Each structure stands twice: as structure tokens, then as C-alpha cells.
Amino acid sequence: MSSGNWRDEYLSEAEFRAWHGCLRLTTSMLRALDQALRAAHAISVTEFDVLITLFNAPKDRLRMSELSQQVLLTASGMTQLATRLEREGLVSRAVDADDRRSFFVTLTPAGHARLREARPTHNEVVRSRLTRRLDADQLRTLGSLWEAVAAAEPESTP
């Protein structure tokens, strides 16, 4: 499908730099976080994301559907990950008494402990690869830019 304008086929230099920088940073950060967390704590970056998301949820628990949306996993991917984390004793799952079709995932004491152990590793990777490379004004500006992008994001993505 062509828009009729060949210029629409290419990003401008500014668009490319913004997109490519975001992509490179995200890819390298996730790779570094995953390697560091696996090596030091035997959890993946996605598993850490589930644990920290539950930690920040009311009563350390969320419905499976809410959790999968927040950590950007499909329902089946979240089910597989929750099963693995439950086997390791890091989360527990229970049927929602009000809606027997839904499950709650709850962070367990062992999950709290693993998160507490892993958080310094996570934070060190973030600081060494991002926040220490920027001065205070740049850091505030970057935070504001990401908030502006997120605020303009549509409710659902195609």
C-alpha cells in the first residue's frame, strides 16, 4: 500500500535518530538486565518485571489479565510464566471468589525475598547504562519526554 508520497516511506533524520536511539537503548538495556539478573539471581528480566509489578500492586496481587497487560505479555505467555514462578514458590495463584473465571497472582514471601535480592542488581544496570550517563537536567528532561510520549499513546494498540 502506497500513500502516493515517496517521502512518507522514509523517516526524517530526526525521526530516525529518535526511534533508533530508543530501540538501541531498549534492546541493550533489556539484554544487560536479563544477563545480570540471570547470572546473579536466576531470574529473567521478564520474571523480575512480574515480581516488581506485583510488589507495586495493592495487596501484592493482580488478576492474571491485569498482570499480563502491565508486563506486556499475551495471556498464554503470562500463564506459562506464572506457572514457572509458582513452581519456584515466588508467586501463588488463586481463583477469584467473585469471578470463578479469573485468577489472582500474589507475590509470596519467597518472591519478596528474591525481588529484594535482585533489585540492587537491576538498579546498578540501569544506573551504569543510563542514569549515570546523564546530568540531573538531562535526566529530568528524558523523564518528561517519556511521560509526554506515554500520555499521547492510544488506549489500545493495533
Q: pLDDT tens, 140-156? A: 999 999 999 989 877 65
pLDDT for the residue numbered 115? 97
C-alpha span between 45 and 29 (Å, rounded): 10
Is a pLDDT exceeding 70 seen at residue 32? yes
CATH, domain 14-149, list 1.10.260.40, 3.30.70.270, 1.25.40.10, 1.10.10.10: 1.10.10.10
pLDDT for the residue numbered 99? 80
Number of helices and strands in the chain (H, E): 6, 3
- Write out pLDDT tens, residues 53-90: 999 999 999 999 999 999 989 989 999 999 999 999 99
Is a pLDDT exceeding 80 seen at residue 1? no
Do the beta carbons of residue 47 and residue 128 sit within 8 Å?
no
**61 C-beta neighbours (distance < 10 Å), count:** 17
**Average confidence score pLDDT of the chain:** 91
Q: What is the pTM of this model?
A: 0.85
pLDDT for the residue numbered 97? 83
Domain segments of the chain: what residues? 14-149
